[in-house]
Amino acid sequence: MSASFPLLLLLLSLLSLSPPSHSLTPTSCAAPDHSSTLQVFHAASPCDPTKQPPTTSWQDSVLQTQSQDQARLQFLSSLAVAPPAAGKKSVVPIASGRQLVQSASYVVRAKIGTPAQTFLMAVDTSNDVAWVPCSGCVGCPSTTLFSSGKSTSYKPLGCQDFQCKQVPSPTCTATACSFNMTYGGSTVAANLSQDTVTLATDAVPGYTFGCIQKATGNSVPPQGLLGLGRGPLSLLSQTQSLYKSTFSYCLPSFKSPNFSGSLRLGPVGQPIRIKYTQLLRNPRRSSLYYVNMIGIRVGRKIVDIPPGALAFNPTTGAGTIFDSGTVYSRLVLPVYTVVRDEFRKRVTPKNLPVSSLGGFDTCYAVPIVAPTITLMFAGMNVTLPPDNFLIHSTSGTTSCLAMAASPTDPLNSVLNVIANFQQQNHRILFDVPNSRLGVARETCT
């Protein structure tokens, strides 16, 4: 079955680091999605109607992005840490009290209802349930609201529906199954609903999502969120027969004048020549895409990582995940420290002064030649191009190693996160049926 898909818009916060080329013609914004390939636009693209004009300096952008990442890391770690009480083995796909974060970096154009209403929904590989702001919403940031009354295919779900047991803290009324979530600094109250969701030309009838009635805070993705996680209620779970739990994306370089890449859903048309590593499952935290990272090479040196520092542990949630919503990769402190130290040692010219910028502790004020960085996974080495680990200021010559240590508080010390800055210009293939994740270089255009 061939499927075609909606536009994916890259909302990378970094955008303001690299001002858009205003000569970019917006004509391609309207280009139809075709076959099973979706266009991805950088948020700096004029194609993204949600984009804000850059108002912040490079330094401010970096700091802001990092603080958003910090909130996301807390969210990811809350997913990763095992519940304290033993006993209940069944997965709770959306844990009570979980924290969603504000820094979802991509949005997908999805059409909801009959006739279709269009939304730019943030795509998030570490979340499952979808939600959109609905008409009458109090506190939603966007004026683009889903009007359920105008859709002939809309159906509210009630407490008798099994999906009501798959959302956090459901509340029952006579007519609705409602639930609350936190998302970064925001909270969201939604009614569980079903309607036809159309991705490009593929209509998925009876798609279950949350219809947001109330939002507080300012970190809610303006037009909703589409979860690409592995758990129940995710896009994968709800489109099993259509997409076979298989998708890939290529995130364009934020330096690309084209600012577009692609998301490909389903097994058809996925790359043949691609390296794989095994996907690992944490039964307690079913959303996350864990892999087995076994080492890191800096230049020619495989750094000495303390034993166990990279190990996958489904009980504690420790290990390494690929995530589309975090911007800069995080390594647990003992791993980050040895990688950073080796990196500094191998930067030329030698003995340059090193400065900090926000959470980045390895910045240089003059142009440098950096060593390569290779992420070593079981069965797959990924050597990152310099653009995937060095962030440069648009004005001036400052550059920083675009990675950081995972937060050190007890909840957050466990996860290594391979983030979207490190994934750009690669095709990342999530092949859940075969329990593998593929990575191949690809220049996204």
Residue ranges binding ligand NAG (CB under 6 A): 28, 39, 134, 148, 156, 169, 171, 173, 175-176, 178, 180, 189, 191, 211, 213-214, 258, 260, 302, 376, 379-381, 445
Task: Pick the catalytic residue from 195, 323, 361, 431.
Answer: 323
User: 335: helix, coil or strand?
Assistant: helix
Least separation in angstroms between residue 390's CB and ligand NAG is 21
341 is catalytic: no
Q: Which residues contact 408 (CB under 8 A, 6 or more apart)?
A: 333
Element (H, E) at 346: helix 333-346
Token representation of residue 443: 């220049």
Say how far apart CA 222 and CA 236 lie, in whole Å. 23
User: How many angstroms separate the first and last alpha carbons of the chain?
Assistant: 25
Least separation in angstroms between residue 154's CB and ligand NAG is 8
Would you say 134 or 403 has its CB closer to ligand NAG?
134
Least separation in angstroms between residue 55's CB and ligand NAG is 27
Q: Please give the C-alpha separations between residue 384 and each of 326, 327, 342, in angstroms, as whole numbers.
A: 17, 15, 16
Token representation of residue 98: 């979980």
Would you say 244 or 255 has its CB closer to ligand NAG?
255
Least separation in angstroms between residue 258's CB and ligand NAG is 4
Q: Please give the C-alpha separations between residue 254 and each of 45, 132, 268, in angstroms, as whole numbers.
A: 10, 27, 27
Sign of dihedral through CA atoms 36, 42, 45, 48? positive
Would you say 302 or 368 has its CB closer to ligand NAG?
302
Residue 308, amino acid: G
Would you say 156 or 185 has its CB closer to ligand NAG?
156
Say how far apart CA 408 and CA 71 lie, in whole Å. 13
CB count in 10 Å sphere of residue 397: 11
Least separation in angstroms between residue 96's CB and ligand NAG is 9
- Give alpha helix (H) positions in 38-164: 58-80
124 is catalytic: yes
Least separation in angstroms between residue 303's CB and ligand NAG is 12
Say how far apart CA 118 and CA 189 lie, in whole Å. 21
Task: Pick the catalytic residue from 48, 124, 202, 431.
Answer: 124
Would you say 25 or 351 has its CB closer to ligand NAG?
25
Least separation in angstroms between residue 81's CB and ligand NAG is 22
Say how far apart CA 405 and CA 344 lie, in whole Å. 15
Would you say 12 or 404 has its CB closer to ligand NAG?
12
Phi, psi of 162 (to 5 degrees): -65, -25
Would you say 66 or 258 has its CB closer to ligand NAG?
258
Q: Which residues contact 380 (CB under 8 A, 6 or more apart)?
A: 275, 276, 277, 439
CB 215 within 8 A of CB 140: yes
- How do beta strands 106-112 and 8-10 pair? antiparallel
Residues with catalytic roles: 124, 323
